[in-house]
C-alpha cells in the first residue's frame, strides 16, 4: 500500500522574507550550483567587482569546456535596470576574457512579459538564460524550484560551426603539434575500417569527412595537454563500465549530441588501440 501522502506546500515570496533573503539564496546556489539546472558547473567567483563599477553576483565555469556563466539574481519581478545590468556584466566579462564562451543568466521570482519585450530587441544575439525561481514552504522545510523560461544559448550545430574553416596550423597553436599528431594516430585507426575518411579542420573542433561529405561519428579537440575525443554512440552502462575498467578518462556523456567525451593521451591511444578501433567502428557503422 502506498504510504505517501499528498501535501500542498505554500509558496513564499523571498523578496518579502527577511530570513530567506537574496544573500541566503545566493549561498544556497554557491553550495550546490546544480540546482539551477545549468549542468556540471563550478563557482569561479562571487560578488565580482567589475572595472567600471558594480558587482556581478556569481560567476560559474564548466570545468571541461570554455563556457562561463555570468549569473545575476533578482528577488521579485524582473525589471529593466536588472536586465540591462545582467547584459552589461556579460558584455564586460566577454571583452575581458574573450578566450571563453560567455552566457548571461538572470534568475528572478517572476519573469515578466516586459522582460521578453526587451530581450526581443536584441534579436537573439545575446546568449541568455532566464530562470524563474519558486520557493515553497511546508512545516519547517523550504524548497527551491528553478525553471528555465528562456534558453537562447549560442550552441550552434556542427553544420554552422563548419562554416568557420581553419587549417592544421590553427590547431597546432590552439593545442600543440603533439596533440594534433594524436588525431593522426586515431585517423590511422579509423583507416583500418574506412580508408576514405579524412580530417576536416573547423574552428571549434577537428571533424571527419568522406568524399567531401561531413561524417562526424567522432570529433577531436586537441588541447595543450592531451586530446578530447567526442564519439557519437548510444549511452550504455556496460560500455561506460568497460571504459572505466580500462582506466580511460571518461569525462561525461553529452546527451544533446549523443556523444561520450573522453580525454586521451598518447599512451592511452597506444595501449587501447584495439578497443578504440572497435568503438570508432561501432560509431561509424
Place of cell 500542498: 8
Interior angle at CA 105, CA 100 and CA 110, nearest 5: 175
Question: Where along the chain do its domains lie?
Answer: 10-151, 158-284
pLDDT, tens digit (0-9, with 9 covering 90-100), for 219-233:
999 988 889 999 998
pLDDT, tens digit (0-9, with 9 covering 90-100), for 95-145:
998 878 899 999 999 988 888 888 877 756 788 999 999 999 888 889 999
Looking at residue 72, what is its pLDDT?
95
Looking at residue 161, what is its pLDDT?
52
Looking at residue 121, what is its pLDDT?
77
Residue 42: CB partners within 8 Å, gap ≥ 6? 33, 60, 61, 62, 63
Interior angle at CA 102, CA 107 and CA 75, nearest 5: 10
CATH number of 158-284: 3.90.1150
Q: Quick check: 55 and 70 in contact, CB under 8 A? A: no
Burial class from Cβ neighbours inside 10 Å (0-12, 13-18, 19+) for residue 256 reads exposed
Cell reading at 232: 557519437
Fold: same for 10-151 and 158-284? no
Compute the distance between CA of residue 136 and CA of residue 134 in angstroms, rounded to an integer. Answer: 7
Domain 10-151 has CATH 3.30.499.10: no
pTM above 0.75, yes or no: no
pLDDT, tens digit (0-9, with 9 covering 90-100), for 49-89:
888 778 999 999 987 667 899 999 999 998 888 899 999 99
pLDDT: is 156 or 72 the higher one? 72
Looking at residue 282, what is its pLDDT?
92
* pLDDT band, residue 256 (cuts 50/70/90): low
Cell reading at 47: 560578488
Looking at residue 138, what is its pLDDT?
85
Compute the distance between CA of residue 117 and CA of residue 6 in angstroms, rounded to an integer. Answer: 38
Best-predicted range by mean pLDDT (1-5, 52-56, 162-166): 52-56
**Residue 48 backbone class (left: φ over 0; alpha: ψ -120 to 50; beta: rest):** beta
Amino acid at each position: 500500500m502506498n504510504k505517501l501522502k499528498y501535501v500542498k506546500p505554500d509558496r513564499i515570496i523571498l523578496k518579502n522574507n527577511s530570513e530567506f533573503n537574496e544573500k541566503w539564496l545566493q549561498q544556497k546556489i554557491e553550495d550546490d550550483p546544480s540546482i539551477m539546472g545549468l549542468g556540471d558547473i563550478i563557482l569561479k567567483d562571487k560578488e565580482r567587482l567589475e572595472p567600471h563599477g558594480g558587482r556581478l553576483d556569481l560567476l560559474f565555469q564548466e570545468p571541461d569546456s570554455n563556457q562561463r556563466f555570468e549569473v545575476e539574481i533578482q528577488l521579485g519581478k524582473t525589471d529593466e535596470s536588472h536586465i540591462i545590468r545582467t547584459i552589461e556584466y556579460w558584455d564586460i566579462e566577454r571583452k575581458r576574457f574573450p578566450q571563453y564562451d560567455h552566457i548571461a543568466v538572470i534568475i528572478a521570482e517572476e519573469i515578466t512579459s516586459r522582460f521578453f519585450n526587451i530581450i526581443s530587441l536584441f534579436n537573439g544575439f545575446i546568449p541568455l538564460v532566464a530562470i524563474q525561481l519558486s520557493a515553497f514552504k511546508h512545516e519547517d522545510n523550504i524548497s527551491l524550484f528553478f525553471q528555465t523560461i528562456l534558453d537562447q544559448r549560442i550552441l550552434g550545430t556542427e553544420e554552422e560551426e563548419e562554416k568557420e574553416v581553419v587549417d592544421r596550423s590553427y590547431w597546432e597553436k590552439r593545442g600543440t603539434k603533439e596533440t594534433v599528431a594524436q588525431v593522426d594516430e586515431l585517423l590511422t585507426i579509423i583507416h583500418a575500417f574506412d580508408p576514405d575518411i579524412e580530417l576536416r579542420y573547423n574552428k571549434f573542433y577537428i571533424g571527419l569527412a568522406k568524399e567531401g561529405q561531413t561524417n562526424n561519428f567522432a570529433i577531436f579537440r586537441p588541447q595543450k595537454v592531451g586530446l578530447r575525443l567526442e564519439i557519437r554512440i548510444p549511452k550504455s552502462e556496460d560500455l561506460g563500465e568497460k571504459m572505466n575498467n580500462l582506466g580511460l578518462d571518461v569525462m561525461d556523456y553529452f546527451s544533446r549530441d549523443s556523444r561520450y567525451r573522453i580525454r586521451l593521451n598518447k599512451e592511452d591511444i597506444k595501449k587501447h588501440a584495439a578497443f578504440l578501433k572497435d568503438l570508432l567502428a561501432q560509431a561509424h557503422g
